[in-house]
Amino acid sequence: MDDNPRLSCAGSARASTALLAAKEDMDCRDRRSHDSAYLRLRNLVKSYDGKTAAVDDVSIDIERGEFLTLLGPSGSGKTTTLLMIAGFETPTSGAIELAGDDLGAMRPYQRNIGMVFQNYALFPHMTAWKNVVFPLKMRRFPRHEMKARADRMLDLVGLRRFADRYPRELSGGQQQRVALARGLVFNPDVLLLDEPLGALDKNLREQMQIEIKRIHRELGITMVYVTHDQTEAMTMSDRIAVFRDGKVEQIGSPLDVYHRPINRFVGEFIGESNFFAGRIEAAGGVELAGIGQVRVAQTLTPAAGDILVMIRPERLRLRGNAPATDNELRMTIDEVINYGDSILVIGSTRGLPLRARIFGSNADALARGATITLAWAPTDAHILLSSRNAQR
């Protein structure tokens, strides 16, 4: 066996089931560290040309067993951050610690970190079983333990009966399961996943989201996941780190980032949004440009000044029997898109662009050129300070 101290736990191969055996190995790993900040990124900077930073002063504390997603557009620095954790890229400055150990001087194979790639990176000349066992051979595991580990990992991802098939004989989802089993087979301290579902169609992608979350829940392994897909990040993550231009804009739970974005970029990148410029008056009221006085439930800080108000399209609804305390506005419809479970109405209010997602309504009542009255509760608005809305 490899002399890496992270691989010293033994005995898990004797467990009676795939799940119990894998969980036993993970518990053994967990006993080595009691610090909740299990993986620490400290002021990471990566520059390829010495002038511009692909990653610019990124600091994140990741708890043991957490599922953290790095979310952002292409070129925002999320994959470069992942590659530095794996050891495939060297930071220009900063530090990475795992369970109290500085990873800076460790080669990738010494870090006991698994990685799953978007293109699977399976060996085409090897069967599924041989692909899974390959990391164990590189780490010189005993032969009997290699077989037991590979078998139970294929059991865990539901592919034991496909063990003798080559990658070309497997579907995309099956190939991704093999890649996942290979990333887990040596009991890594952390599993990194770089847009692993990007090559799959919508149905397969949703199935694999469920599979990955199941494995994360059952094994309790720390996962760091990279994606530009907002829905994927929202449905899978314990926390989301939103990247832009090499920096982390916001870190929080999916619902916190969605409902309380720190700035306009985050609000627009995660989900659809309506933004209205406004001002907090000295008396404490809120005046929206082009709309007028509105009621909001959020604590108003500062006491007066320019603000930006965000209202999600799904928080707008047809006036109907809405409470008298609700705000309302008139909308002229330019476009109606029927999604089956909801209707997206695109239009304007007093010349300002507006989107509303209406649920359970008759599409015939929402016609192009019509004017409708929409209501929204004071609790549906999220206020951003204007000083935080400027693009960097």
With CA atoms as reference, report the closest residue to 84 among 122, 56, 121, 119. 56
The domain covering 5-259 belongs, at the CATH homologous superfamily level, to P-loop containing nucleotide triphosphate hydrolases (3.40.50.300)
Closest alpha carbon to 113 in 46, 39, 62, 43: 39
Q: Residues near 175 by Cβ (< 8 Å), separated by ≥ 6?
A: 120, 122, 167
Residues of the chain with CATH 2.40.50.140: 272-388
Chain length of the chain = 392
CATH superfamily of 272-388: Nucleic acid-binding proteins (2.40.50.140)
Residue type at 341 in one-letter notation: D
Task: Please list the residues that pair with 354 across neighbouring strands.
Answer: 347
- With beta carbons less than 8 A apart as the criterion, state whether 23 and 219 touch: yes
Kindly give, in sequence order, each residue whose CB lies less than 8 Å from that of residue 3, ignoring residues fewer than 6 positions away: none
**Crossing angle of the two packed helices 143-156 and 128-138, in degrees rounded to 10:** 130
- What's the DSSP call for residue 265? H
Sign of CA dihedral 357, 359, 361, 364: positive
Print pLDDT tens along the chain (392 aa).
344 434 334 333 333 344 445 455 545 444 444 446 899 999 999 999 999 999 999 999 999 999 999 999 999 999 999 999 999 999 999 999 999 999 998 999 899 999 998 888 899 999 999 999 999 999 999 999 999 999 999 999 999 999 999 999 999 899 999 999 999 999 999 999 999 988 788 888 898 899 999 999 999 999 999 999 999 999 999 999 999 999 999 999 999 999 999 999 999 999 999 999 988 876 667 889 888 889 888 776 666 678 899 999 999 999 887 788 889 999 999 999 998 889 999 999 999 999 999 987 666 678 899 999 999 999 999 998 764 444 44
Task: Return the ∠ at Cα 125 (arms to 119 and 128), rounded to 5°.
Answer: 70
In this prediction the pTM is: 0.85
